[in-house]
Amino acid sequence: MATMLEISDLVVDIRSGRSTVRAVDGISLTLDPGRTLGLVGESGCGKSTTGLAVLGLLPAGGKVTRGSIRIDGHEIVGLREAEARAIRGRTVGVVFQDPMTALNPTQRIGAQVAEPLLIHGMANRSAAMKQAVDLLGEVGLSRPAAQAERFPHELSGGMRQRVMIALALICGPKLLVADEPTTALDVTTQDQILQLFDSLQQSRDMSILLITHDMGVVAGHTDEVAVMYAGRLAELATTHRLFGGYRHRYTEALLESIPTLDTPRGQRLATIAGLPPNLGGQLAPCRFAPRCAHAEQVCFDVEPQWSEQGEHGYACHLPRRTDADLMTESAGAPS
């Protein structure tokens, strides 16, 4: 099966002033048609930068230094902006975090949703408007024809995010990049939007790159998960495998810091000590080592290699042992 998005050995440098920061350092991912890949990590781990590189929206000073990004089989690294835009244009849609700033406040939403069709000459004005209204209905706005005449500030946050989704989908993209699409929304709206993603994905057979820091979102709405830390890939697995038997100590720390209702009263919430490293400074060979509760000398001396078993890969010297490991060990151990 052809892959929808293939990132291999991607390196993104961001230059600001004299210093250069390697925001993404050699990550490789693939996303098949109709699947959802969750890209998770703390702030500043490079997950958004990866998304922006795919979209061709790296900030000023940002540059793909190495590696390749293939969208639907087309290499886009090294292309001139106009050529890359021709490939992306109708193939890729984008949903941003903040629906307040993601819509033009001076345009009626119908006109905004219809605009991509006009950009690509896919419909004339009235046909584009009709399609826009239909799609606004499909993403769950009631009375879409009336809503299309409104301005963004007249809608609630959840409705704006639905409009943003309609805008992203109007050209029928095969790949949707959603950068923290639910972070700015309240919890109930969040859930509705994620369910909308799921149903749209099924009806349109579209791939979704879901960038988020929310492990709960990842668990319920992705097929595969990539955990990033300090510009590198820490762990990559199918969602099922990951939650069943995560190996990397960073993934472990992330999951353990989610509070549960069972946590006894008065007990401190689990956190990951310290802050993500400054990517412009000196980094330990295992970048998580300075914050890792299980780190040993080897983590500060040798860079961990990527090891892969089936659909599960990770880079950790001292991976967490899963229940399966414990069982084989006890079976193999002479008693």
Partner 1 sequence: MSIDLPDVADTTGQAAAEDRQAAVEPKQPSMVLRRFLENKLAILGLLLFLAMAVFCFLGPLVYHTDQIHTRLSEQTLPPGPGHPLGTDQVGYDELGRLMVGGQTSIEIALGAALVAVVLGVVWGTVAGYFGGVIDSFMMRIVDSVMSIPALFLLMFLATMFRPSVLMLILVLGLLAWLAPARLVRGETLSLRSREYVQAVRVMGGRAPRIIFRHLVPNVLGTIVVNATFQVADAILAIAAISFLGLGIPPPAANWGGMLSDGLNYTYSGFWWLIYPSGIAIIITVLSFNLIGDGLRDAVGLRAHRRL
List residues near partner 1 by CB under 8 A. Answer: 55-57, 59-60, 85-86, 88-90, 92-94, 96-98, 101-107, 112, 115-116, 119-120, 140-143, 146-147, 150-151, 153-159, 162, 164, 167-168, 171, 186, 188-189, 192
Closest CA to 214 of 184, 177, 244, 241: 184
Smallest separation, CB 151 to partner 1 (Å): 5
Smallest separation, CB 268 to partner 1 (Å): 31
| Contact assessment for residue 141 and residue 127, using Cβ atoms and an 8 Å cutoff | no
The rounded distance, in Å, linking the Cα atoms of 165 and 201 is 12
Closest CA to 70 of 31, 109, 38: 31
As given in the structure block, the two tokens for residue 132 are 């826009």
| Smaller CB separation from partner 1, 51 or 319 | 51
Closest CA to 286 of 274, 295, 278, 273: 295
| Smaller CB separation from partner 1, 211 or 234 | 211
| Smaller CB separation from partner 1, 96 or 229 | 96
| Smaller CB separation from partner 1, 158 or 277 | 158
Smallest separation, CB 134 to partner 1 (Å): 15
Smallest separation, CB 85 to partner 1 (Å): 5
What contacts 329, CB < 8 A, 6 or more positions away? 321
Using the structure block, give the residue that is written with the tokens 């409705």: 159
| Smaller CB separation from partner 1, 55 or 225 | 55
**Segment holding 113, helix H or strand E:** helix 109-119
Cα 136 to the chain's mean position, in Å? 24
Smallest separation, CB 128 to partner 1 (Å): 13
